[in-house]
Structure 1
Amino acid sequence: MAEPHRIVILGTGLAGASAAGELRAKGFSGEVVLIGKDRYRPYELPPLSKGILLGDADEPDWVHDEDFYGKQNIDLRLSTVVTELRLGDRVVIDEAGTRYPYDRLLLATGSRPRTLSLPGAELDGVRTLRTLDDSKALLAALSGGGRVVIIGAGWIGCEVASAARKHGADVTIVERLPLPLHQVLGDTIAAVFRDLHTEHGVQWRFGADVAELTGSDGRVTGVRLGDGSTLPADVVVVAVGAVPRVELAHAAGLELSDSVPGGGVDTDATLRTSAPDVYAAGDIAAQYHPKYDRRVRVEHWANAKDQGTHVAGNLLGGSDPYTAIPYFFSDQYDLGMEVRGLANPFRDELVVRGSLETREFIAFWLRERRVRAAMNVNMWDDGDALQALVDNQTEVEPQVLQTGELGSLVGS
């Protein structure tokens, strides 16, 4: 496959910006056009729910320095909304009618927060968290303390709760499931996070449905639950997951996935879509993953960064499969953790090394005695060993993981 002359990248998030930078690092001298609707140059998302929301950082982690794009001759188009992909014509069109022809196209359009289709959802004071402006606005709202109701106890909901408590807010989390993070961690480990937040003053409403957001003079005042009770609120944070931005891909006729939660754009192992010379990376990519022998779509920071970097080589004519194992981290109060791999907590065997009570432990999820995923909580010395165990899906007896030397298991 010949090297292209012009590569267009849709999406100025981490995946798109990483791909653009890597194209130049690999010596590509053709045109690179990086288009996105955000008004800020590319930045990473984790600080939005961590350092910035806690008030510990004034800026996000920028993907590149401000002068990088000019120095690297990358045509960065901010505040630009693309409205159409014409795959047959190999052109992208924005809302002003500007046309961007391409030889190769990368879709890295990311995700948007799910919203509530309920009465009161449009009231002032109802917030989501996805962009830098979202984070700044939510920080301002939390800094005054007050009463905060968070709908959803996933990673974002829990991290927002941690920040809100630091700012002195009264926090209640409403969650339909019986525990926070239940679907990704299972009963035992999810209970650790429930207890962590409870000890820091968070109130829970598990098994609850939201019926309505109440308000006065256009501003939210409460959350009415399905049982008829109302939680008073000055701020409501909707944290019920994200949806991949696949509208452009769908309208263009690209194959979409119905085999991963939330859908996505189908790609092969190399991140190539169903259309010639069109690739997808980051949150929207429902990639056939060789190590799992199925489609996988991952919304975490490392996946966006690593897929963006990886796909650059394939945009230039390579055909290397993306095989990296998913990685994720979170910080809540004094608990820091990392997860490697993909677990099914309701099917896999859980093995715990260390102490759940002191929140210094490693959790392993095994299937057929092979390590499928590992989470280290407030323990930082074994990261390389954990990565290798998960990468290799090492076969091991549970008791060895509990008491043995982890480094000695690598490569076994």
Structure 2
Amino acid sequence: MSAPTAGRVLVVGGGTAASTFVSLLRQAGHQGEIVVVGAERHLPYHRPPLSKKFGDPLVGPDTWLREAGFYDEQGITMCLAETVTELDPKAFTVTTDLGRVLSYDTVVLATGARPRQLAVPGAHLRGVLSLRTLDDAELLREAVLAGSGMVVVGGGYVGLEVASVARSRGLPVSVLERENRLLARVASPTFGDVLESRHRERGTRILTGTEVIAIEGDQGRVRRVYLDDDSCVAADLVVVGVGAVPCDELASAAGIECGSAGGIVVDAGARTSAPGVLAIGDVTVRPRHGGPPMRLESIPSAMEQARQAVAMLTGAEPTTCEVPWFWSDQLDLKIKIAGIVEQPYETSLRGAPGGASIALLHHRDGIPVAVETANANADFMAARRMLASATPVDPRRWADRDVSLRELALA
């Protein structure tokens, strides 16, 4: 049972993690001041539609995580279009770009991640976009509505979601991937091949094992993308999706422990190495179910960490780490993944690669470690339960469509 708490809680960042945290903190009975400082001009909004539905109008009643009046009603002060530039853990203060110095009893860093930039000549040209914010998505939507032919640099989930929307609008799309296959860092080869085949069937041009070396334009606007094999691809629009970099500069400059590859290191209560400083969301290197700590860029992870931070602050019973899971909408596929696909593993296939639905269970010595599914929600839910309980599974029964996975999960 949580207890009412007091003191000023200052949240840096205005995304899903921040909005979920402040909402739950008030709900848990926190009686002190809550202040959110967010660099964007918008109230916290749903981010998945940015890449999945940017072809439709993005601003409407369903855009916002909470109605505009919610924060006022809950006594939560929203400081928008303001950036925290310095954190002083010893003085328990932050400084913003407006010159304000704000004190806190607890500060929560929910600064997220920013798109990795393409470090090639011409990356600054008009029509070269990244996709992370609502404003980014609005620019992309305008370009798509103008009928611009698109090149997507990066064959990850975000890049493929963008390509899906563009193809649904009938636009020519080329996806350029440096690795030898799509989704090389986040999906199994089998699942990556399934998705690649579907995208090719829908008319997306896919080039793997190729690297962008320059972007060229006319009158300041992109027109061509040059590759390392001396070829070039025509483009009116280039969307760069080559990963994200954690926004951990505040923590790093303040001497707070960060991972060797970036990200603020936290424990299961979202605590950092500095007293009074918590961190949640995409910026963190966090404990996870079934493996060593890592950065998890997902809405479920951000919301889980918000719950963990609230439980820690209010003295409620700590929550255990859930099996990490992710989702993606591409073409006619509803994709859901649970666990982390990491070698070594064996794979059992349920369904056919070209069929309407497919589920791949990855396991070690019969113990499930990850599942990848497309249009197979029941299989996903059953496999997720297996992952959570480390239920041994007979690979042959998993692959048998006549066997109920619900029964396997409860076995």
With normalisation by structure 1, the TM-score equals: 0.95
Deviation at 1:310, TM superposition (A): 2.7
**Could you tell me which residue of structure 2 aligns to residue 134 of structure 1?**
136
Maintained 8 Å contact 2:6/2:31: no
Query: Which range is displaced more, 371-380 or 124-133?
Result: 371-380
Aligned equivalents of 1:28, 1:99: Cα separation in 2: 23
Q: Which amino acid aligns with 2:278?
A: Y
Are 2:374 and 1:385 aligned? no
For 2:377, what is the secondary structure of its paired residue?
coil
Are 2:370 and 1:370 aligned? no
**Could you tell me which residue of structure 2 aligns to residue 357 of structure 1?**
354
Which of 305, 309, 317 is matched with 2:303 structurally?
Answer: 305
**Could you tell me which residue of structure 1 aligns to residue 48 of structure 2?**
46
Are 2:240 and 1:213 aligned? no
Deviation at 1:41, TM superposition (A): 0.3
Which of 335, 338, 343 is matched with 2:336 structurally?
Answer: 338
Maintained 8 Å contact 1:283/1:299: yes
Using a 3 Å threshold, how does the CA distance of structure 1 residues 2 and 55 change in structure 2: closer, same or farther?
closer
Maintained 8 Å contact 2:161/2:329: yes
Maintained 8 Å contact 2:149/2:236: yes
**Could you tell me which residue of structure 1 aligns to residue 287 of structure 2?**
288
For 2:182, what is the secondary structure of its paired residue?
coil
**Could you tell me which residue of structure 2 aligns to residue 410 of structure 1?**
409
Which of 106, 115, 123 is matched with 1:104 structurally?
Answer: 106
Residue by residue over 1:178-204, the C-alpha shift from the partner in whole angstroms, topping out at 9 and shown as x without a partner, is 221122222211111111110111111
Aligned equivalents of 1:309, 1:66: Cα separation in 2: 22
Residue by residue over 1:43-98, the C-alpha shift from the partner in whole angstroms, topping out at 9 and shown as x without a partner, is 121011112x1326544642111110000000111101101000000011111221
- Which runs of structure 2 are paired with 1:8-407 in the superposition (5 Å)? 8-51=10-53, 53-55=54-56, 58-59=59-60, 61-258=63-260, 262-289=261-288, 291-318=289-316, 320=318, 322-344=320-342, 346-403=343-400, 404-407=403-406
Maintained 8 Å contact 2:92/2:105: yes
Query: Which range is displaced more, 246-255 or 61-70?
Result: 61-70
Unaligned runs of 5+ in 2: none
Aligned equivalents of 1:375, 1:67: Cα separation in 2: 39
Residue by residue over 1:110-143, the C-alpha shift from the partner in whole angstroms, topping out at 9 and shown as x without a partner, is 0000111111010000000000010011011012
Maintained 8 Å contact 1:43/1:61: yes
Maintained 8 Å contact 2:5/2:32: no
Task: Give the 4+ runs in structure 1 shifted more than 3 A.
Answer: 1-4, 56-61
Q: Which amino acid aligns with 1:158?
A: L
For 1:85, what is the secondary structure of its paired residue?
strand
Q: Which amino acid aligns with 1:396?
A: V
Paired residue total: 406
Deviation at 1:320, TM superposition (A): 2.0
Percent identity reads 35
For 1:130, what is the secondary structure of its paired residue?
coil
Maintained 8 Å contact 1:14/1:308: no
Maintained 8 Å contact 2:112/2:282: yes
Unaligned runs of 5+ in 1: none
Residue by residue over 1:229-253, the C-alpha shift from the partner in whole angstroms, topping out at 9 and shown as x without a partner, is 1111100111101011001011011
Using a 3 Å threshold, how does the CA distance of structure 1 residues 321 and 58 change in structure 2: closer, same or farther?
closer
Residue by residue over 1:297-350, the C-alpha shift from the partner in whole angstroms, topping out at 9 and shown as x without a partner, is 100111112212331121234572541121111111111111111121x42111
With normalisation by structure 2, the TM-score equals: 0.95
Using a 3 Å threshold, how does the CA distance of structure 1 residues 139 and 92 change in structure 2: closer, same or farther?
same
Aligned equivalents of 1:55, 1:96: Cα separation in 2: 35
Maintained 8 Å contact 2:213/2:227: yes
Aligned equivalents of 2:58, 2:13: Cα separation in 1: 25
Residue by residue over 1:196-231, the C-alpha shift from the partner in whole angstroms, topping out at 9 and shown as x without a partner, is 110111111111011100111111111001111111
Maintained 8 Å contact 1:147/1:234: yes
Maintained 8 Å contact 1:270/1:322: no
Maintained 8 Å contact 1:125/1:220: yes
Aligned equivalents of 1:279, 1:4: Cα separation in 2: 16
Using a 3 Å threshold, how does the CA distance of structure 1 residues 125 and 65 change in structure 2: closer, same or farther?
same
Q: CA RMSD in A?
A: 1.7
For 2:29, what is the secondary structure of its paired residue?
coil
Maintained 8 Å contact 1:4/1:103: no
Aligned equivalents of 1:205, 1:410: Cα separation in 2: 39
For 2:230, what is the secondary structure of its paired residue?
coil
Query: Which range is displaced more, 402-411 or 53-62?
Result: 53-62
Maintained 8 Å contact 1:144/1:169: no
Maintained 8 Å contact 1:54/1:139: yes
